[in-house]
Amino acid sequence: MTPSKPEEHCIIEPLISAISGRWKLLVIYWLAQETCRFNQLQRHLGNITHRTLTRQLSELQEAGFVSRKDFKTIPPHVEYSLTPLGQSLIPLLQAMHDWAQTNAKQIPDPK
């Protein structure tokens, strides 16, 4: 990130693409707290549809940030957790949290 030589492409672009959207960082946040089942994660997130959460989890799995463990039982028991790559995002989330706390009064409320 040196200003002396411009890069041909932004190196963080793939990361931004992988974690962009309203819900993905929040999913990562909650999975950083604990391994969650689908409905538990949906309760944590509040106003998210079943379809949207399914899509977000699938995209995070494809990106390598989230793992899905199916216990192959009836009724279905599936748990989601962060992979080591997903866990490596925790310091980034912590830095974003600290920044938001410092600048909370300057950030418009999205509601």
Predicted model pTM: 0.83
Which CATH number applies to 13-94? 1.10.10.10
Measure the CA–CA gap between 35 and 67, rounded to whole angstroms.
10
pLDDT digits (tens, 9 = 90+) for 24-37: 999 999 999 999 99
Q: Does residue 80 contact residue 37 with C-beta atoms inside 8 Å?
A: yes
Q: Are β-strands 78-82 and 36-37 bridged in parallel, bridged antiparallel, or unpaired? A: antiparallel
Say yes or no to pLDDT of 61 above 70: yes
Residue 1 pLDDT greater than 70, yes or no: no
DSSP per residue, 48-106: --HHHHHHHHHHHHHTTSEEEEE---SS--EEEEE-HHHHTTHHHHHHHHHHHHHTGGG
Q: Is 57 exposed, middle or buried (0-12, 13-18, 19+ CB in 10 A)?
A: buried
The structural domains of the chain, with segments of one domain joined by +, span 13-94
Cα–Cα dist 38/57, whole Å: 9
